[in-house]
Structure 1
Amino acid sequence: MKVDDSLLQKYARVMVHYALNDGKGINKGDTVFLVGQECTKDLFMAMAKEVYAAGGNLITNYQPNNLRDNSLARFLLQNGSEEQIAFFATPYWKGIVDATDHILFIISEPDIHYLEDIPASKISLMNSARAPYMKMREAKEQAGKLSWSLCLYGTQSMADEAGLSLEAYWEQIIEACYLREDDPVSKWKSVQQEIELIKDKLDALPINKLHIKGVDADLYIQLGENRKWLSGGGKNIPSFEIFTSPDWRGTNGHIHFNQPLYYSGKRISGVSLQFENGVVVASSATENEDALKEMIAQENADKVGEFSLTDKRHSKITQFMATTLYDENRGGEFGNTHIALGNAYKDTFTGDMATVTEEQWAEMGYNSCPKVHTDIISTTDRTVTATLRDGTEKVIYRDGMFTL
């Protein structure tokens, strides 16, 4: 399937002139680190040219396709020593982060199961090696000197996994990103303003804790002090969710997720979690439970780093897409509820992130887990009730919509 060049050009414009720089687009002279696989070539080139046309500079990371019969990552995991799998080129990645103003990553899987049958422990070792890079990025982002964004390029393998034709899969992308609009950049800015109005109403509520209730969930989440809600603001395209980083210590109860997640190349389905005083004390999955437990076993990956809700009135995503970027923003009948295990987003802090020490982040209950931030999603009917600081209760989300 060949995607129309005019749609790819609009896609590139959305990413360069809206998504990057937290919804403001790049400035002349900015440097963009652009990452994508071979299968994304037409979109990769459109985005690269758009960066140059905007007066920006490029650093590119154009990777060979990850395929089961021809993947460098798979070859390393099968044949490399532990030292090779855990190798991290500190000077190289430090140089990339130092030189970069924005990171633009094209998500795409030419073979969504390319790591099938690889032990989860080996994959975790490889993922752990990237933790210093994520810490470098986080520090620069907290200083207000780095932005990033993700977008999706559909492949036959991803469409097959979602149970869609490739044409139907791309139709979801086109609709979700407003690529048929004459000016999709302006459309995104308009939608973002609507989402910001809801976010502002949430910020105005003195919320102490949230109760997430449904036939498959009975979970309490403590919001914590000095928190605000965030919306995508360009960090993901598309993004319709409104989220925050709760105080992990106040998570109690159980929750089940009806949507699978993909972690380290493996599909994990039927996830259920039980929390006590902020920690996962029981976990199960109907598919690849070993991968779920391997993930949770990472340091601090047994704690919540994010809580999020999506209002179905904004999202045009109606199908399961087999990728977190879309599934965490799905609309449908009941919107979606999701949490992330692992690292907390520190930009939910109401003050100056750059002045906060690691000890102070810990004191406020922000979970620190550079190795893991894994969203787990449910599209079942959930009611979310906020308990305010004066003890009164207010329903903030019902039937897939905010009720503010």
Structure 2
Amino acid sequence: MQLNETLLQKYAQVMVHYALNNGQGIQKGDTVFLVGQEIAKDLFVAIAKEIYAAGGNLISNYLPNNMRDTSLARYLLEAGSDEQVGFFAQPYWKGIVDATDHILFIISEPDVHYLEGIPASRISMMNSARAPYMKMREEKEQAGKLSWTLCLYGTQSMADEAGLSLEEYWEQIIEACYLREDDPVSRWKQVQAEIEAIKDKLDALAIETLHLKGADVDLTVQIGANRKWLSGGGKNIPSFEIFTSPDWRGTNGSIRFNQPLYYSGKRIAGISLQFENGVVVAASATENEEALKEMIAQENADKVGEFSLTDRRHSKITRFMATTLYDENMGGQFGNTHIALGNAYKDTFTGDMAAVSTEQWAEMGYNSCPKVHTDIISTTDRTVTATLRDGSEKIIYQDGQFQLD
């Protein structure tokens, strides 16, 4: 299945004129690092042309498809030495980050299970090698000089994994991204304004802690001082979530997740986590538990970096899509809650990020884990009650939507 030219062009316009530059679109002379696989060639080319038409510059990273029999990553993991798996071309990636104003990544999986059978420890070794690149990106983003965004290109493998036809899968993408609107860029800006209004109300509450209660959750999350709530603001397309980076030290209780996690090419399902004083003290999964524990065993990946809620009234995503970008934004009957284990987003800080030292981030309870930021999602019913700094309590989320009026 291929998108027609009109839908392709609209998708490219959304990504270039809204998503990049934190919801503002690129400026003439900006340089975009565009990453995608050959299966997404038509969208890759449409976005590249739109970047050029907007007066931007392009650095292209066009990759062969990740299939079990053609994936270079799989071949390296199977046949390469530890030194090769852990290789990191520091000068090259530093040059990319230095030259880039925006990064746009097209998610597409021609074979969802292309890393099946590879030991989780081997995959972690490869992921760890890229930690310096993620650190360079984070530092430039904190200085306000870099933006990034993601979008999805549907494949037969992803549709099969989600239990949908390819047409049904693409229908979710088209609806979620407003691609049938006459002006999807303007529509996105309208939706973003509505979400920003909710975010502003959350900031005004001065929340100390949140208590999540439901059949599969009894969890307390400490928000912490000097935090604000954020929305996608172009960073993900689509994005309807509202999130913050909590003080990891104040997470206590238990939570189960009814949505599977896809991590390093593996499906991890039936996840349960138990927290004590911010640290995961028990973790289990009904499928690929080894991969879950391997992930959590990495330094600081056993702590929370993000807490997020999605209001079902905004999201048009109604089906499981087997990819975090969509599943963390699912609407449906009860919206969704997700937490991320690993690195915290520092742009939730209310002050000047560039003026904060590594030690000060740690003192404020921002988790530091450049190797991991993994969202785990639940779409079951829950009530979220906030305890405010004056000691009062207020239900802020119930029946899948915010309760802030």
Supply the distance in 2 between the matched residues of 1:282 and 1:68 (Cα, whole angstroms). 33
CA distance in 2, matches of 1:349, 1:333: 32
Structure 1: 4+ residue segments shifted above 6 A: none
CA offset digits 1:201-252 (Å, max 9, x no partner): 0000011100011000000000000000000000000000000000000000
- The separation in 2 between residues aligned to 1:182 and 1:207, in whole angstroms, is 39
Within-5 A mapping of 1:2-401: 2-401=2-401
Is the deviation greater in 382-391 or in 321-330?
382-391
Compare 109-118 and 2-11 and name the one that shifted more. Answer: 2-11
Work out the CA distance in 2 between the residues paired with 1:248 and 1:8. 41
Cα distance in structure 1, aligned partners of 2:68 and 2:206? 51
* Percent identity over paired residues: 84
CA distance in 1, matches of 2:332, 2:86: 41
Instruction: State the Cα distance separating 1:169 from its structure 2 match.
Output: 0.1
For 1:301 and 1:48, the matched residues in 2 are separated by 35
Give 1:313 deviation, angstroms.
0.2
Q: Which amino acid aligns with 2:307?
A: F
Q: How far apart are residue 187 of structure 1 and its match?
A: 0.1
Task: Compute the RMSD of aligned alpha carbons.
Answer: 0.3
1:56 & 1:323 partners in 2: Cα distance?
29
The whole-number CA distance in structure 2 between the counterparts of 1:3 and 1:270 is 34
Deviations 1:97-135 (A, max 9, x none): 000000000000000000000000000000000100000
Task: List runs of 5+ in structure 2 lacking aligned partners.
Answer: none
For 2:301, the aligned partner's letter is A
Partners of 1:206 and 1:143 in 2: CA distance = 26
The offset of 1:39, in angstroms, is: 0.2
What are the ranges of 5 or more consecutive residues in structure 1 without an aligned counterpart?
none
Q: CA deviation at 1:3?
A: 1.3
**SS, match of residue 212 in structure 1:** strand
TM-score, normalising length: structure 2:
1.00
Does the residue aligned with 1:249 lie in a helix, a strand or coil?
A: helix
1:199 CA drift (Å):
0.1
SS of the residue 1:283 aligns to: strand
Displacement, 1:47? 0.1
What is the CA–CA distance in structure 1 between the aligned matches of 2:75 and 2:289, rounded to whole Å? 24
Q: 2: distance between equivalents of 1:82 and 1:179?
A: 45
1:373, CA displacement in angstroms?
Answer: 0.1
Q: Give the C-alpha shift of residue 390 in structure 1.
A: 1.3
Cα distance per residue 1:125-162 (max 9 Å; x no partner): 00000100000000000000000000000000000000
Alignment: residue pair count: 404
1:317 and 1:5 mapped to 2: Cα distance? 23
Corresponding letter in the other structure for 1:316: K
Counterpart CA distance in 2 for 1:129 and 1:251 is: 29
Query: Offset at 1:175?
Result: 0.1
In the TM superposition, residue 309 of structure 1 has moved relative to its aligned partner by: 0.1
